[in-house]
Structure 1
Amino acid sequence: MERAEEIVVRGIVQGVGFRPFVHRLALRHGLRGSVRNEGGLVAIHVGGSADALDAFARVLVAEAPPLARIAELKRREAPPPEGAGFAIAESGEGEVSVGIVPDVATCPACLAEIADPAARRYRYAFTNCTDCGPRFSIVACLPYDRPSTTMAGFSMCPACRAEYDDPADRRFHAQPIACPACGPRLWLEREGTVLPCADPVTEAARLLGEGAILAVKGIGGFHLACDATNAAAVARLRARKHRPAKPLAVMADLATAETLCGLDDAARAALVHPSAPIVLLPLRPGARLAAGVAPGQRHLGLMLPYAPLHHLLLAEAGRPLVMTSGNRSSEPQAFRDDEARAGLAGIADAFLMHDRPIVRRLDDSVARIAAGRARVMRRGRGRAPLPMTLPEDFEGAPAVLAMGAEVKSAFCLTRGRNALLSHHLGDLDEPATADAFAKAHADYAAIFRHTPEAVAVDLHPGSRASRDGAALAREKGLPLVAVQHHHAHIAAVLAEAGWRRDQGAVIGVALDGLGLGTDGTIWGAEILACDYRAMTRLARLAPIPLAGGDAAAREPFRVLLAHLDAALGRAAVDAHPGLAALFSGKPVATLRAMMDKGLNAPPASSAGRLFDAMACLVGRAPDRLSHEGEAAMGLEAAAFGHRAAPYPFEIRTTEGPDGAALQELNPGPLWRAALADLAAGRASGEIAAAFHEGVATAFADAAADLAQARGLPAVALSGGVMQNAILLEAMQRRLAARGLAVLLSAEAPANDGGLALGQAAVAAARLMAGDG
């Protein structure tokens, strides 16, 4: 006897070949009916025997396409379907979930086709199928069908149409399907004039081989490319882009990558992941690269080609290529043709262009291997808008818009258990980035039909993200939930780890640059006891004054002076023979006067500035930093490969500005030990290693003692400083040895790029408890 059902599948089920998969599966089980996209889900109307329906439902999950992620499958009885066959029906309307697949690196089958002279798509730069190719960068709205993408302007030729309509073909209903006869095209231009050439890729490779800098239009925006082995070309790119020291990303095939970096299984898995991120990997000694690619570093930002154009260009060039974001220093990446022509003029010698429009800017994702797996440092192309799932007791939570942070900005949209952390947008103090942030939020809200019931912001009312969030909450009459910066860092880790609200508190260690504390002072190295709703500050790094405020983050000698004055006393600092040259020509008297008077010298317990100061002491930081993280990266590079006993901290109990008792980790003994080692001629790498081990030991032991005293089973680690792999792994080992569960972020960046996830989780938990 026939039975009929409607089966609704939610999750990542659009743009992954799910409907063709359902079609083939239904035919295999002798079922009739139809499948269609319905908003952000897939709806299946199917009829057949009870056994066949049960088997069909089981295999829907067990054999789902590799890019699909099924979050929920619901079955209910339905009227019998009409007709005898099984069809892919036109998409319908409906509520859109957070379920659209990110852009996906080219699959092996398409690569083989591009390399086959007998194939119809031989050397075609826009080859794709249901398992690979552009998705989020080309879709304007849901449901994900060709008319909703930037492929709408390219009419399929008969051959492509036949593949698209054939259920047995891997391009069955592949929305970006194209070929040389009907799809996007490439060209090379200079100063707005198309260059005559038989093959733009071959000519572009020739120009790169001669030392030219090219702007290359890709999936989510433009790259600036040059020969990564040509020192002069790399130097010209740095000079033109005004990027003197920040490492440049390199693109290479896997065989070349093996010669450039040490690759273990985790590194290979990260490189070949469908998201194809930039992965920070240890450089091999003598790697054939220009020294200017990653000056002073032990790691290289390396990615594999992820679009057919990249594969073709690398093969023609025959060498690794610098592939850095196509922008001027501190500006957003260009992603529109006219924007690139105007913004990259004077940097690029020529432009390798194509005519498939890009809907939204998506920087490359960045990851590094730490504590045994890849951990996202920047969430972009290939990761966004992959949703995250909040713990099960967030079911029914109100919809929240979380605004994130001022730097490394990203927002988060939640609805129930679904959390959609946006792609990386940049620093909001840049007007162009602030504009991009507003447009991206409007874009996400429209495409995912998200209407917030509350707005979450950072506790600091003066940040651009907080001001804009507060204004939106007032305009819409919505609750505004302010979340302390470091609480949000830890909550993001809890949310990703699946830590339920009813599991109670954990100890959180948040190490970063700066964040406003609940007592009105600047925090940045904190040990907290917290759950989603509330937190208590238990310990901190001893604060020192930041002479000049923001200037202290750009000039590490200011912070070093404050730390050494606190550790040794001013007379001892002035008399120390090893420090005379370091502070020569610096406004020491002025800085001390500022600190004495409290004039633009706020006290701060900042781990980021502690690392900057040590980098300055051992000569791994310039007087003025050219980019955020420069000093800390230099210090980590110095420590790489060295082993050393930890420098000591003094642990004492003090009273915080709000009157609460605090444990204070005082680095005075650390500075005295480091100065003694410098005087004894100890290598800077060993000093850097002893510093890392000292910070890890002090904070891990303090966190473990507090967890034990309070009977808490887990410690969560977060904050931008926790992206330092040496520190993170040392702390994880030490905490695990004490029998504690160690919670770490992986998909949400530990830096401020993941802050919005934590803000959203805290806001949702408070609202569910009625204390928003």
Structure 2
Amino acid sequence: MERASLSNEAHGEERLIRLRLAIHGAVQGVGFRPFVYRCALEAKLTGWVFNGPDGVVIEVEGRRASLETFHTRILNEHPRVARILAASVDWLEPVGFHGFQIRESDAEGLLSVQVLPDLATCPQCRSEVRDPANRRYRYPLTNCTQCGPRFSIIEQLPYDRPSTTMRSFELCPACRAEYEDPANRRFHAQPNACHVCGPQLALWRMPDGEGGAESAPSAPDRHNGACMPTSATVLAEGDAALRGAIAAILAGQIVGVKGLGGFQLICDARNEQAVARLRARKQRPTKPLALMVRDLAMAETLCLVPQEAADLLTSPEAPIVLLRRRDEAGVAPGIAPGNPYLGLMLPTTPLHHLLLDALEAPVVATSGNLTDEPIAIDEYEALQRLTGIADWLLVHNRPLVRPADDSVAMLLGGEPRLLRRARGYAPAPVILQHPAPSILALGAQLKNTIALSVGRQVLLSQHLGDLATPEARTVFGQVVADLMRLYAATPTAIVHDLHPDYFTTTFVQRRGDGVLPESAQVLSVQHHHAHLASCMTEHQVEGLALGIIWDGTGYGLDGTIWGGEFLYGNVAYSQRVAHLRPFLLPGGDAAIREPRRTALALLYAIDGVQAMEWDDLAPLQTFTAHERVVFSRMFQTGAQCVPTSSAGRLFDGVASLLGLCQKVTFEGEAAMMLEYVADPYETVSYPFMLVGSSLDWRPTLIALLADLRRGVAIERISARFHNAMVSSMVAVARMINPPVIVLSGGCFQNRLLAERAVAVLGACGMRTLLHRQVPPNDGGISLGQLAAAAARIEGYTLTEVVRIARSYTFVPGME
């Protein structure tokens, strides 16, 4: 934005003037200043550039035409990994600069600069690591301004080496020369290092590891002191450690590898025994395991890789991407049982590239943790927490400040969609349309993330996972404190989910045991409204929208469990205008783990206790006569039954009725099986009824059961059920006729459901939006909480929402 201008008199283009540029965004630690330096020298301009707490500030003097060309180059030709959010321009009188300088960073002022996420190895660094003539040949922690650790090693802003965990590694003369040369791509690359001066590898044998000394090189006579364990055995250091880890993986053993944002558990993906052993130790019976492959050529031997997926795999963010597997994919059956997709990623560090180059085969690369615990980031922590899981640890002594698990993405409608937002993306912000006060949003109980507003930026934490274990809750508290400290923020408002029993709610009530400011205003935002606000905020939708919010569980305004909701409103408030017909969940959370219980509930809703005798149905065959009597009594009395309108549970129950899944070992397992079996070419839809504000799914299930008993293929039955669910969306949307529709909630991770909904609603002339920057699941809740709170603080009221939505509302309930 140009804020001032000097008048051009006759021959004004010949006089010297000064241009001041303030660049805001992810512009530190990405080679931005050397880029500016080169542009200034090429244009023969004088002045300076420095890193400030708000971004990069530039002042240059020269002729107007040269400065305008310089300005255009800065905005359009900047380093690929830089992200410019805003640029302010001032035209000033010259002051007589001599030469062009890169000045020291300014640490004063508001800390609103973006912290860049950790980035996968760039092509230049990969080439150096593989070049025997290069001094960084086989150095596994090679990086430059275009790649390597950022978020995981920074301790405070601005981003300079003394503010990172690399401050204890003194640069050798060769690295120092690179670091100080503005023409070098490693100019002020804060983690810059090499074999001589940088962190080093070590291979540790775990106390109860299966590996023996014969499967790795002997330990050296002298250890460098950087990675000395207390209860493990040091088998090798440096390149010998890397070769020892390779030998262990080829021998079928499990190696914990310290990556960009923490430990990964790695084993040979072709070895079914190794995969089974990893599953048993990690306590992960059936949930798919991610694979790391050497390059795109190897990826294409396992999966179909469209160009959009190839671009995503090779991007600096380098997430795990879910891709349809080939029938002949040469990996162990236990990688993703019954799943037509594989999660693939490319190597993210030189260490991983060297591993995959030597192995010449895909490896499992899953989070370094016990299921439901946070990943380990410190080698001594890993030594304690991964004992009994990993046989070896391949560690290095570059400390990590915070965990960042691997991100997960999929292609939906031909576009990348995030399912887990972590390494490569966090803490990149989502931009608000208007500045917000300092607000901290604590997210949900599952797939937790937190969010902090700084001006127009909503800074989103990395994926923290489920807050069910003491370890996860400890990390949650640490990340809350860390984000506030990093941005020197004292929130004036704190937002949490409406559920009274969520850990985030009790955390606020305790003021985080001293972490949260006592003076902050506390607000609660209903779970499904947060989903609506999240998607609207991503797309900067102002005014009103219809949110179709379908997920597994969310605490409703009436005290029941919601999950099949149609909300009409704005970012601040919404009103429930329709919902799926509620049913009873016997045993509450137990029904989440056992879809067969949900199937019983659906049958009871159709035909009462008589349905308990429908012995031809798969779920009934898994219950004893006594169990059926017990459940019948529970349904009739309501004892230990929780009412819910959950779409997620409805999908689970249908999967059970079709005999696909009676018990699950991870969230969404039954619904995934129902999606994967569906015939994508089936066009028939089962009926349903819209009764008041309630979408009655009973006619759908009656027709479904009739097909099942007639022997119709379950592929067609599943597709017809999906089609019915989409038709129900259209019915409500036509009733409301909203200006825009947003789809959010975990159910929209279902590719078939989401793509078909967008297509059918679009064919009806309705603008329909899906998430892009944050996941549709609970990983996006914190963004919606913050946006809703900001809008309410700014004075938005319920009046407009109530006035417009009231005519569609038959059941009380406003958020």
User: What's the TM-score, normalizing by structure 2?
Assistant: 0.90
Matching residue of 2:793: 767
Secondary structure of 1:199's aligned partner = helix
Compute the displacement of 1:573 (Å): 4.2
Deviations along 1:662-684, one digit per CA (max 9) or x if unpaired, are: x2111112222222222222333
- Which of 680, 694, 700 in structure 2 is aligned with 1:670? 700
- 1:704 equivalenced with 2:704 (yes/no): no
Matching of residue 269 in structure 1 with residue 311 in structure 2 = yes
1:285 to 2:327 alignment = yes
SS state of the match for residue 53, structure 1? helix
CA contact (8 A) 2:655 2:670 kept: yes
Q: Determine which of 438, 443, 463 is the counterpart of 1:399.
A: 438
The equivalent residue for 1:171 is 186
Residue-by-residue CA offset, 1:166-186 (whole Å, 9 max, x unaligned):
222221221111111111111
- Whether the 8 Å CA contact 1:510–1:717 is kept in 2: the answer is yes
What residue number does 1:658 align with?
none
* 1:693 matched to 2:723: yes
Residue equivalent to 1:206: 247
The correspondence for 1:726, drawn from 744, 748, 752, is 752
Counterpart in the other structure of 2:801? none
Q: How many angstroms does 1:588 deviate by?
A: 2.1
1:614-633, aligned counterparts within 5 Å? 614-623=654-663, 625-633=664-672
Contact kept in structure 2, 1:216 and 1:222, CA below 8 Å: yes
Residue 422 of structure 1 pairs with residue 461 of structure 2: yes
Deviation at 1:58, TM superposition (A): 2.3
| Correspondence 1:325 to 2:354 | no
How does 1:285-684 map onto structure 2 within 5 Å? 285-391=327-433, 394-395=434-435, 397-472=436-511, 476-500=518-542, 504-579=543-618, 580-584=620-624, 587-623=627-663, 625-639=664-678, 643-653=682-692, 663-684=693-714
Cα separation, 1, equivalents of 2:249 and 2:791? 53
3-state SS of 2:166 partner:
coil
Q: Shift of residue 495 of structure 1?
A: 0.3
Give me the whole-angstrom Cα distance separating, in 2, the residues matched to 1:82 and 1:528: 61
Counterpart code for 1:335 = I
Is 2:104 the counterpart of 1:90?
yes
The answer to whether structure 1 residue 248 and structure 2 residue 289 are counterparts is yes
Query: Structure 2: how far apart are the matches of 1:256 and 1:341?
Result: 32
Q: How many residue pairs end up in the alignment?
A: 752
- The one-letter code of the counterpart of 2:307 is D
Aligned partners of 2:680 and 2:86: how far apart in 1? Answer: 46
The superposition leaves residues 513-558 of structure 1 with CA deviations (integer Å, 9 ceiling, x where unpaired) of 1112222222100111111122111111110011111111111111
Identity of aligned residues (%): 47
The separation in 2 between residues aligned to 1:181 and 1:587, in whole angstroms, is: 68
Post-superposition offset of 1:420: 0.9
SS in 2 for 1:569: helix
Unaligned runs of 5+ in 1: 654-662
Deviation at 1:132, TM superposition (A): 1.1
Checking the alignment, whether the CA contact within 8 Å between 1:6 and 1:45 is kept in structure 2 is yes
What is aligned with 1:232? 273
Runs ≥4 in structure 1, deviation > 4 angstroms?
77-83
C-alpha distance in 1 between matches for 2:173 and 2:74? 31
Partner of 1:43: 57
Report what 1:142 is aligned to.
Answer: 157
User: Residue 28 of structure 1 aligns to which amino acid in structure 2?
Assistant: E
In structure 2, distance between residues paired with 1:379 and 1:371: 19
Shift of 1:80: 5.0
Give per-residue Cα distances to partners, 1:147-204, cap 9 Å, x unaligned.
1111111111111112222222221221111111111111211031111476222221
Q: The residue matched to 1:340 in structure 2 has which SS? A: helix
**In 2 relative to 1, CA 770–375 (structure 1 residues): closer, same or farther, beyond 3 Å?**
closer
Q: How does 1:748-767 map to 2 (within 5 A)?
A: 748-767=774-793
* One-letter identity of the residue aligned with 1:765: A
**What residue is the counterpart of 2:809 in the other structure?**
none
1:704 partner amino acid: A
Offset, 1:95? 1.3
Matches of 1:256 and 1:75, distance apart in 2: 48
The separation in 1 between residues aligned to 2:396 and 2:419, in whole angstroms, is 30
Cα deviation for residue 117 of structure 1 reads 1.3
SS at match of 2:337: coil
Whether contact under 8 Å (1:171, 1:177) holds in the other structure is yes
- Work out the CA distance in 2 between the residues paired with 1:232 and 1:745: 39
For the aligned residue pairs, the C-alpha RMSD in angstroms reads: 1.8
Asked if the contact 2:612–2:628 (Cα under 8 Å) also holds between the matched residues in 1, the reply is: no
1:229-264 CA-partner distances (Å, limit 9, x unpaired) = 110110011111111111100000211110111111
Does structure 2 conserve the Cα–Cα contact (< 8 Å) formed by 1:650 and 1:669?
yes
Which segment is superposed worse, 281-290 or 191-200? 191-200
State how far apart, in whole Å, the 1-side matches of 2:754 and 2:202 are. Answer: 46
- 1: CA distance between counterparts of 2:127 and 2:106? 35
Secondary structure at 1:100's aligned position in 2? coil
Question: 1:334·1:340 contact (CA, 8 Å) conserved in 2?
Answer: yes
Q: Give the Cα–Cα distance (whole angstroms) in 2 for the partners of residues 24 and 236 of structure 1.
A: 54
Evaluate the alpha carbon distance shift between residue 99 and residue 586 of structure 1 in structure 2; reply closer, same or farther with a 3 A threshold: farther
Query: C-alpha displacement at 1:751, in angstroms?
Result: 0.6
Return the letter of the residue paired with 1:732.
V
> 3-state SS of the aligned residue for 1:223?
strand
Find the residue that maps to 2:167 and give its secondary structure: coil
Instruction: Report the more deviating stretch, 445-454 or 639-648.
Output: 639-648
Aligned to 1:660: none
Q: Distance in 2 between matches of 1:359 and 1:530?
A: 40
Which deviates the most, 428-437 or 720-729?
A: 428-437
Q: Is the 8 A contact 1:507 1:706 kept in 2?
A: no
Q: CA deviation at 1:376?
A: 0.6
Q: Deviations over 1:392-434 (max 9, x none)?
A: xx23x22211111111111111133211111111111211111
Deviations 1:730-754 (A, max 9, x none): 1001100010111111111111110
CA distance in 1, matches of 2:753, 2:285: 27
Q: Cα distance, 1:768 vs. partner?
A: 0.7
Scaled by the length of structure 1, the TM-score of the pair is 0.94
Residues 231, 542 of structure 1: CA spacing in aligned structure 2 closer, same or farther, 3 A cutoff? same
Partner residue, 2:226: none
The structural deviation recorded for 1:575 is 4.0
Q: In structure 2, do the counterparts of structure 1 residues 55 and 578 end up closer, same or farther at CA, with 3 Å as the change threshold? A: closer
Q: Distance in 1 between matches of 2:70 and 2:236?
A: 55
Shift of 1:470: 4.2
The question of whether the paired residues in 1 share the 8 Å contact of 2:161 and 2:191 is answered with yes
**d(CA) in 2 for partners of 1:294 and 1:536?**
40
Contact map agreement 1:398 1:768 (CA 8 A) in 2: no
Residue 394 of structure 2 aligns to which amino acid in structure 1?
Answer: L
> Is contact 2:686–2:703 with CA below 8 Å preserved after alignment?
yes
CA distance in 2, matches of 1:451, 1:51: 44
1:599-620 residue CA offsets vs partner (Å, 9 max, x unmatched): 2212110011111111112222
Match of residue 29 from structure 1 = 43
- For structure 1, which segment, 74-83 or 743-752, has the greater mean C-alpha deviation from structure 2 after superposition? 74-83
Letter paired with 1:88? I
Q: Which amino acid aligns with 2:400?
A: I
Shift of 1:143: 0.8
What's the secondary structure of 1:262's corresponding residue?
Answer: coil
